[in-house]
């Protein structure tokens, strides 16, 4: 089922995944219009899309996702919403109230605007972290949508993404102003990597400062399965196509799907090394401290920061929950997405790795220069 002639809204259009989805929509779907919704849309982004824009109209909507009237204007006459925008924070830099306002309330306002403006399809970008890992670090190997797991969450980020996902799925079947019904689904990508990934850039920057030796924060056995950003974008496109199909709409509506690909399971730290080793980076052979001592350090720093909280807000560089995230076996299958959405990875592991390493290589001279100038 094609999105030809549709009006699509992409929230978080200027982000890592948003940019990939925009280009994919322009290259593969002859949509009538794509609306780029973000706090600020750089003119360079529109210029970069000119080579594949064709007859599609690109319309910019700059504003706050917590502004209900702004959302109604952006969604008026739209048929499909890709809701990618969120605050991503896994170390606790952002206050919970800010995370909740954007990730939860913003999603709720967007869903309400869909109902008021008769938007038929809503695809929510969730995350594997709504599943965990839980504070006990219990493993999941090749998990799926039916996996039973005690997903007790501690991070504000994962909590807010979980609540936003629940609200999205509960909104499936809501009656629109014109009498139609809203169809929603949520996609749970594993750790997204690729050209443009700021987390990889940060790890490379840390490695440069450490004389081209990458830090190890994950034990080798803590396998996860990262997913290439181009494959995640394709998963979104397939979800939108499926929700438009009358025969699939009732099957997919109200459900979530894990999105992974054929990237080999590996620890977070070893993945960084795989994509950066061609650039001359090595990696620490083992954790600087045994993991149990890292947990003790995390507990001490968390306690100290909590005691200082009435006077000053300090975010500890190491927390027990972050250590658990980095050191828990946590892998998921994309087979249900393949069955229901027709999703299959567009990019092989070899191509995804090549694109990622080439992008990091293009950034390396500037990063070295910047660090030398400090």
Q: How far apart are CA 103 and CA 143, in angstroms?
A: 25
Do residues 356 and 271 lie in contact, with contact meaning Cβ atoms separated by under 8 Å?
Answer: no
Q: Look up 157 and say whether it is catalytic.
A: yes
Provide the terminal-to-terminal Cα distance of the chain, rounded to the nearest Å. 53
**Torsion-angle region of 161 (φ positive above 0: left; ψ -120 to 50: alpha; else: beta):** alpha
Q: Which two tokens stand for residue 227?
A: 């997913």
Strand partners, 58: 34
Residue 170's nearest CA partner among 107, 118, 77, 258 is 107
Q: Which entry of 157, 228, 295, 334 is annotated as an active-site residue?
A: 157
Strand partners, 257: 187
Burial class (CB in 10 A: 0-12, 13-18, 19+), 108: middle
- Residues for the chain: how many in total? 374
Q: Is 42 helix (H, G, I), strand (E, B) or coil?
A: coil
Cα torsion angle, 65, 67, 68, 71, sign: negative
Q: How far apart are CA 318 and CA 124, in angstroms?
A: 30
Active-site amino acid positions = 157
């Amino acid at each position: 089922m094609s999105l030809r002639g549709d009006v699509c809204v992409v929230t978080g259009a200027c982000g890592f995944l948003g940019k990939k989805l925009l280009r994919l929509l322009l290259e593969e779907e002859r949509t009538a219009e794509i609306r780029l919704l973000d706090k600020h849309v750089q003119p360079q982004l529109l210029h970069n899309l000119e080579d594949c824009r064709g007859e599609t109209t690109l319309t910019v909507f700059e504003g706050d996702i917590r502004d209900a009237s702004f959302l109604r204007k952006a969604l008026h006459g739209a048929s499909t919403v890709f809701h990618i925008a969120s605050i991503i924070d896994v170390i606790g830099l952002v206050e919970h109230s800010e995370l909740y306002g954007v990730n939860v309330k913003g999603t709720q306002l967007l869903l309400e605007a869909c109902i008021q403006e008769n938007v038929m399809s809503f695809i929510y970008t969730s995350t594997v972290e709504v599943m965990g890992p839980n504070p006990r670090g219990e493993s999941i190997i090749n998990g799926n949508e039916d996996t039973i797991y005690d997903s007790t969450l501690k991070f504000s980020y994962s909590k807010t993404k979980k609540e936003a996902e629940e609200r999205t799925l509960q909104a499936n079947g809501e009656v629109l102003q014109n009498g139609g019904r809203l169809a929603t689904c949520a996609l749970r990508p594993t750790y997204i990597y690729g050209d443009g990934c700021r987390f990889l850039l940060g790890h490379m920057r840390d490695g440069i400062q450490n004389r081209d030796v990458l830090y190890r924060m994950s034990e080798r056995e803590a396998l996860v399965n990262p997913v290439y950003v181009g494959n995640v974008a394709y998963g979104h496109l397939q979800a939108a196509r499926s929700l438009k199909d009358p025969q699939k709409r009732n099957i997919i509506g109200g459900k979530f799907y894990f999105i992974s690909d054929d990237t080999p399971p590996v620890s977070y730290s070893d993945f960084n090394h795989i994509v950066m080793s061609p650039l001359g980076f090595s990696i620490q052979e083992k954790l600087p401290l045994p993991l149990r001592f890292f947990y003790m350090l995390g507990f001490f720093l968390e306690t100290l920061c909590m005691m200082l909280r009435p006077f000053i807000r300090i975010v500890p560089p190491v927390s027990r929950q972050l250590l658990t995230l980095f050191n828990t076996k946590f892998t998921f299958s994309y087979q249900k997405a393949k069955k229901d959405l027709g999703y299959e990875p567009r990019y092989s592991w070899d191509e995804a790795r090549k694109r990622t390493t080439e992008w990091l290589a293009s950034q390396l001279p500037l990063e070295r220069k910047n660090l030398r100038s400090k």
